[in-house]
Structure 1
Amino acid sequence: MTSASKVNFTVTPLLRIAYEEHGTASGDPIVLLHGFPYDPRTFDEVAPVLAQRGYRVIVPYLRGYGPTRFNEPAIARTGQQAALAQDLLDLMDTLDIPQAALCGYDWGGRAACIVAALWPERVRCLVTGDGYNLQDIPRSTEPLDPQTEHRLWYQYYFHTARGVEGLKRNRRELCQLLWQLWSPTWKRGEELYRLSAPSFDNPDFVEVVIHSYRHRFMYAPGDPTLEWMEEKLAEQPKISVPSISLCGADDGVGPPPEDDEDAGHFSGFYERRVLPGVGHNIPQEAPQATVKALLDLLER
């Protein structure tokens, strides 16, 4: 944790969400959302800069990470995309934020994209890691090209009982391996990984992660109360809010194609920026580019 950050908590219908806040409460709000397997440390060089510009910056720990906890033992530890989006909406509601700029990647980018697509009035602008992050679950069982399938090995591993036990026993080693594979040219990964690794000791981490990677392939049922949202997401709704997509040119899990295949999913202002020498952990590897994208949208 940075010396300027402090963990706060807010209680939503399902979670006691831990979050870090930078800046003043009167500033225009920005919510920064991490992915798997990362945590708020990914924004340590982003949030303070935005706060210095007068913004109120909220950086939550997603469900299953760090100090965030479910309110009751009986609540299902789901990791599906609709749950992440609902968590973001609930967070904004409990913090009395009617509208915010959103920035996220991986799981956090998915939550941000969903809220931007279905509740555009809640989103001032969007910076998304790797473009349109809504899962197309009805088509998820269609085979992809062999190179892409190879990069998704960890997802298929999590579909098995062996993978569940492997994540339980070796969560820190496995997540560190993913950092290395997904950001192969990043020199600070080993140094900074130790700051995020404790967040994976959350007692719900394994269950939430396993459900996330099974649900997206229709190998696990979702929360029935969120089925209406999943049905809307199956229609692949367009995102109308002003958006910038940041893509790491060296992303080891989802390298950006030469042609932007996501542009058709955005109906408002949209720009894709491919970042040379950057892998999957975009905000931590390229904090200046992340800040610039947000300010370009907020101050345009």
Structure 2
Amino acid sequence: MFDGFTVDDVPVGDATLHVRVGGDAGGEPLVLLHGHPRTGATWHRVAPLLASRGFRVVVPDLRGYGRSIAPAPRPDHSQASKRAMAEDVLALMRSLGHETFRLVGHDRGSYAAFRLAMDHPEAVRSVALLDCLPIVEHLDRITPEFATEWFHWFFFAQPETPERVITADPDAWYGGDPDAMGPENFAERREAVHRPEVVRAMLEDYRAGLTIDRADEEADRAAGRRLQPPLLVLWSLRDDLERLFGDPLTIWRDWADDVRGHGIESGHHVAEEAPDALADALIGFFRGVM
């Protein structure tokens, strides 16, 4: 995976990010943020396509995920907040010499990307969010169907029990197909979820989502803050986002003025299932907006 990419562990304040970097050293910097329960390896089919088109591609593991290191859990879950993850990425990019960059987030990584673009619009030139709505928009639209299909949001928020359930048999909980994911990507994900500290950190991500992250979004909405960088919204047509919530673009237009996007024929893990279509959409967007 990631032929020609360098691999490093970069301290960023109270966390350390495991990061892959590749592509044109003088190219425009582009950050890819993964979702749960993946690592940066989920981008192994997309990152080389972007690198081959002249981008300088930066692929970290989110704090606590994969081989990145997060602080111990705090009572308010702030160590797993999307603001903390966003600050990690900003510090990482500055350490690599990039004051501005393009940004992509999928699933949980999309919340970190959203927070980074909201808090630091001067750094984010444009942002793509994949399979994502703001957390408060999900919670405002709770239905029995949502609660059933997305039950993990609320199960993961419970204290201690999810850790016991998942660590008892991580392979049974997370599953996965090595052929579909790519054998090395699967092996990296599998190694990560067999470490209890990684499972704990991933669960803390969800606990933060329903508490401190929700509060941050509610404060944004109450203050009328909007996403300033141009926004691309992509969603997987064989997943359930559009079926449960309707047109994602309509919802995102309550949060940003420059919104565009479309669905992609894929299941949820679009970077693994439809890498060419995803790369084409990202390149078209990033090349088309200044």
TM norm. shorter chain > 0.5: yes
Structure 1 residue 256, shift from structure 2 partner: 6.1
**Contact 1:92–1:98 under 8 Å retained in 2:** yes
1:23/1:104 CA distance change after superposition, 3 Å: same
- Partner Cα separation in structure 2 for residue 253 and residue 194 of structure 1: 28
- Partner Cα separation in structure 2 for residue 207 and residue 13 of structure 1: 20
Structure 1 residue 143, shift from structure 2 partner: 7.4
* Number of aligned residues: 282
Aligned to 1:197: 190
1:227/1:151 CA distance change after superposition, 3 Å: closer
- Partner Cα separation in structure 2 for residue 249 and residue 88 of structure 1: 29
Percent of residue pairs bearing the same amino acid type: 24
- Partner Cα separation in structure 1 for residue 38 and residue 73 of structure 2: 26
Structure 1 residue 82, shift from structure 2 partner: 2.0
Q: Map residues 131-150 of structure 1 onto 2, 5 A cutoff.
A: 131-132=132-133, 134-136=134-136, 140=139, 144-150=142-148
Structure 1 residue 227, shift from structure 2 partner: 11
Structure 1 residue 275, shift from structure 2 partner: 1.5
Aligned to 1:184: none
1:164 lines up with 2:163 in the alignment: yes
- Partner Cα separation in structure 1 for residue 215 and residue 159 of structure 2: 28
Runs of 5+ unmatched residues, structure 2:
none
Q: Over aligned residue pairs, what C-alpha RMSD do you find? A: 3.1
* 1:122 partner amino acid: A
- Partner Cα separation in structure 2 for residue 92 and residue 116 of structure 1: 14
1:16/1:216 CA distance change after superposition, 3 Å: closer
1:74/1:248 CA distance change after superposition, 3 Å: closer
* 1:273 partner amino acid: H
Aligned to 1:80: 81
* 1:168 partner amino acid: T
Aligned to 2:41: 41
Structure 1 residue 118, shift from structure 2 partner: 2.3
- Partner Cα separation in structure 2 for residue 234 and residue 263 of structure 1: 12
1:245/1:227 CA distance change after superposition, 3 Å: closer
- Partner Cα separation in structure 1 for residue 6 and residue 151 of structure 2: 36
1:188 lines up with 2:180 in the alignment: yes
Q: For 1:46-72, what per-residue CA distance to the aligned partner results, in whole angstroms no more than 9, with x for missing partners?
A: 1111111221100001111222124x6
* 2:142 partner amino acid: L
Aligned to 1:249: 237
**Contact 2:131–2:241 under 8 Å retained in 1:** no
Name whichever of 29-38 and 259-268 sits farther off: 259-268
Aligned to 1:289: 277
Q: Map residues 112-123 of structure 1 onto 2, 5 A cutoff.
A: 112-123=113-124
1:240 lines up with 2:241 in the alignment: no
- Partner Cα separation in structure 2 for residue 100 and residue 214 of structure 1: 29
Structure 1 residue 216, shift from structure 2 partner: 2.8
- Partner Cα separation in structure 2 for residue 44 and residue 77 of structure 1: 30
* 1:14 partner amino acid: D
**Contact 2:231–2:256 under 8 Å retained in 1:** no
Runs of 5+ unmatched residues, structure 1:
181-186
Name whichever of 97-106 and 289-298 sits farther off: 289-298
Q: Which structure features the higher share of helix residues?
A: 2
1:254/1:210 CA distance change after superposition, 3 Å: farther
**Contact 1:247–1:256 under 8 Å retained in 2:** no
Instruction: Report SS of the residue matched to 1:120.
Output: coil
- Partner Cα separation in structure 1 for residue 10 and residue 24 of structure 2: 17
Q: For 1:211-254, what per-residue CA distance to the aligned partner results, in whole angstroms no more than 9, with x for missing partners?
A: 22223333xxx5xxx99966744647322212211100111577
Structure 1 residue 257, shift from structure 2 partner: 4.0
Instruction: Report SS of the residue matched to 1:265.
Output: coil
Q: Map residues 58-73 of structure 1 onto 2, 5 A cutoff.
A: 58-70=58-70
